[in-house]
Chain A
Amino acid sequence: MSSTEGPAEGRDPGLQPERTRLAWRRTTLSGTVVAVLAVKTALHGGTSPLGVIACALCCALWLGFLLVAHRRIGVLATGAGHPGLATRQATMAVLCTVAMAACGAVLVF
């Protein structure tokens, strides 16, 4: 084990931070699929004002999720001190998901 690796000193051989980073990426990708499906639903059945609002809200929520994931990936990439996931971030990610589902209910109905 050389100590010249700088921030990667004491690097976990299981690459846990990297795997967690990729998990955030996968989750963002899933969110993207949902957002795209929401846009498709909104455009499909003729554009009503309510549908357009719900669709725009969905896209904004996707951006919110992207921001949370981006922040978390940035923290994991520096690898300094290995701070855990803040509860606020987890709650924000979940709230974005729940609100997306609510927009979906409006779009479907």
Chain B
Amino acid sequence: MIEFARNVRLWFAPQEVREEGHTPDYRFSLANERTFLAWLRTALALIGGGFAVDQFLPDLRWGWRVGLALALLAAGVLCSLRAVNHWVRCERAMRHDQDLPVSRFPALLSVVVAVVAVVMVVVVLAGWEG
């Protein structure tokens, strides 16, 4: 948690990352940037999914619809925050010639997406019955 707070401080203090260690090969930095953007797209897709649930499942009960939509929106927020955090951590690791940080997040996100998908199928089927 302290590590996370330190990283949050780094998001807003761009000079500090620049001053640490040495500048890595620019291609590694660009690859890191593309990974960051890919995670940001994932986040945007989750947010778009939240809107889509609200828009395209109008027969669902209000609670389920809003609950699913908010869950997807929250997942999008988490994903985007994690994207910038992971980017900063990777950038620092490269500057210090350390191993890249490992993360449980991809596994966690895929489990959450799978659960939401299953819930959506069940709710849509049950919603149409009732």
Contact = CB atoms under 8 A, between A and B. Distances in A.
A and B: real partners?
yes
Interface of A: 12, 14, 16-17, 19-20, 23-24, 26-27, 30-31, 33-34, 37-38, 40-41, 44, 82, 84-88, 90-91, 93-94, 97-98, 100-102, 104-105, 107-109
Contact of A26 (B37, B43, B81): B37
Interface stretch (B51-59, B96-104, B107-115, B116-124): B51-59
Contact of B37 (A27, A44, A86): A27
Interface in B23-60: 23, 26-27, 29-31, 33-34, 36-38, 40-41, 43-45, 47-48, 50-52, 54-55
Contacts of B87: 85, 90
A87 B66 CA distance: 34
A48 B92 CA distance: 46
A17 B29 CA distance: 10
The size class of the interface chain B forms with chain A is: 35 or more
- Which 6 pairs, one residue from A and one from B, show the smallest C-beta to C-beta distance? A82-B26, A37-B51, A87-B14, A30-B44, A84-B29, A97-B80
Given A97-B76, A98-B77, A87 B41 contact: no
B14 A88 contact: yes
A108 B33 contact: no
A10 B83 CA distance: 31
B82 to A, nearest CB: 10
Contact of A16 (B27, B40, B43, B84): B27
A37 B48 contact: yes
B76 A101 contact: yes
